Amino acid sequence: MRVVRAVVFAVFAPVVTALGFVFATLALVFDPGRGRASHAVARLWGRAMLAISGARLVVTHGDRFQPDVPRVLVGNHASYLDICALVAAFPGQLRFLARKSLLWLPFIGWYIRLAGHFSIDRDDPRQALALAHTMADRMRRHHKSPMVFPEGTRSRDGRLAALKAGTFHLPVMLSADVQPIAILGSHAILPKGAWFPRRAGTIELRVGAPIATAGLEGSAGRKLLAERTRAALLTLGLPDGLATDGPSPTDTAAPPSA
């Protein structure tokens, strides 16, 4: 079955991604400002990619999603399937903060440019401030929710690494709540470095309660917010990559308690 799954993924993933890009781009013609039609196509793409990966999507506390409320979504990152799962599950306009290097990827990178997702050059700290203002404007005017992965890269073992405090500049600047989202199961299916799904399985998104940012300012506020967000993600069941005696990522995750 593993060989069959790899063949199915190798054949259909590029086709689904190419078709998704074409139809999502065409949809931008009909709603270029808000991009709702294009995002609907992206959600279908996410579901299709999960299906051909053998992944079943489960959303816990999905009622906590409020796309009309300006929030910054923050989650762990262990697999490319995280993006598919988030796009498929979030009921509103979701925009990712991606590395600038991803813009050159066929179809996916092109869509990041066209659909108004955000890209950042990690070697240019001055860009971060300008980008934060751009993201803030789109949050206020078009109710687009930015999704960030504050670990900075995909986890190699599925454990939660330290969160970069600079990632929290936007919510502190806006006094916008942070919505923690724990993504479980994606690493076991398509880990970092794998070209094909290794197994079928369930990807669960556990949506945490929003974390208020009122009163937080400057670097101290960003650091405190990073600590609170990491604690919330761990409470939602993620294995701790900084703990010397934490549970193995292959263990059954703890039930959600937040």
Q: How many distinct structural domains can be found in the chain?
A: 1
- Identify which has the larger pLDDT, 160 or 173: 160
Please, which residues have CB within 8 angstroms of residue 35's CB and are 6 or more apart in sequence?
27, 28, 93, 115, 116, 142
Report the CATH number that the domain containing residue 124 is assigned in CATH.
3.40.1130
Domain range for residue 33? 2-235
The percent of residues above 90 in pLDDT, for the chain, comes to 38
User: What was the pLDDT predicted at 244?
Assistant: 59
Give dist(CA 177, CA 180) in Å, integer.
Answer: 10
Residue 197: what pLDDT?
Answer: 93
In a domain, 256, yes or no: no
Distance from C-alpha of 25 to C-alpha of 156, rounded to nearest angstrom? 33
* pLDDT of the residue at 30: 75
Count the alpha carbons within 13 Å of 161 in the hemisphere toward its beta carbon: 14
pLDDT tier at 28, thresholds 50, 70, 90: confident
CA distance 99 to 96: 10
Kindly state the average pLDDT of the residues 54-65.
Answer: 95
Q: Is residue 248 part of a domain?
A: no
Using an 8 Å Cβ cutoff, are 116 and 105 in contact? no
pLDDT digits (tens, 9 = 90+) for 126-150: 655 666 666 666 666 666 788 889 8
C-beta separation of 60 from 81 below 8 A: no
Assigned domain for 257 exists: no
- Assess contact for 64 and 207: CB atoms under 8 A: yes
At residue 257, the pLDDT reads: 37
212 falls within a domain: yes
Helix ranges, 67-217 (H): 81-89, 108-114, 125-142, 169-174, 186-189
Find the range with the poorest average confidence among 63-72, 189-198, 227-236. Answer: 63-72
Asked if pLDDT for residue 235 goes beyond 80, the answer is yes
pLDDT band at 251 (very low <50, low <70, confident <90, very high): very low
pLDDT in tens, 100-123: 555 555 556 556 665 556 655 555
Predicted TM-score (pTM) of the model is 0.82
Residues 184/201, Cβ–Cβ less than 8 Å: no
Kindly list the distances between the CA atom of residue 172 and the CA atoms of 61, 167, 249, in Å, as whole numbers in the listed order. 25, 10, 31
Does some domain include residue 55?
A: yes
In a domain, 25, yes or no: yes
Mean pLDDT of 96-101: 63
Residue 89 lies in a domain: yes
Tens digit of each residue's pLDDT (9 = 90 or more) over 236-247? 999 998 875 545
Q: Which residue has the higher pLDDT, 2 or 206?
A: 206
Lowest mean pLDDT among 88-92, 109-113, 199-203, 248-252: 248-252
With CA atoms as reference, report the closest residue to 236 among 255, 211, 210: 255
Is residue 255 in some structural domain?
A: no
DSSP state of 159: -
pLDDT at site 121: 55
